[in-house]
Amino acid sequence: MRVALDDFKIDSPAGLHQCLVFTPLGLTYTQVRNVFPERTFDKEMVQMGMYVVLLGLDYLHGLGVVHTGNA
């Protein structure tokens, strides 16, 4: 069972939206890197990982969502 760490509401032209905050699923890049004997990624793996991250950010920005971190 997954338990939300926090929640908040966002008001938009489409109405009020409930947002839930969860711990990330899966492994971090550091955990994946540590699986490899030399503890490094090859160029293709880094390129594919960055492509997926940028694709996700492009999608969110296209919806008008901005991610700013917790500073």
Instruction: Decide if pLDDT at 70 tops 60.
Output: no
Q: How many helices (H) and strands (E) does the chain have?
A: 2, 2
Specify the pLDDT at position 27: 86
What would the pLDDT profile of 32-46 be if each residue is shown by its tens digit? 889 988 998 889 989
Helix (H) / strand (E) containing 6 = strand 6-12
Q: Find the angle CA(55)-CA(63)-CA(57) to the nearest 5 degrees.
A: 25
Which tokens belong to 14? 């489409």
Higher pLDDT, 71 or 66: 66
Q: Find the angle CA(67)-CA(68)-CA(71) to the nearest 5 degrees.
A: 155
Q: What is the pTM of this model?
A: 0.54
Q: Find the angle CA(21)-CA(2)-CA(34) to the nearest 5 degrees.
A: 85
Specify the pLDDT at position 19: 86
* 71: confidence class by pLDDT, cuts 50, 70, 90: very low
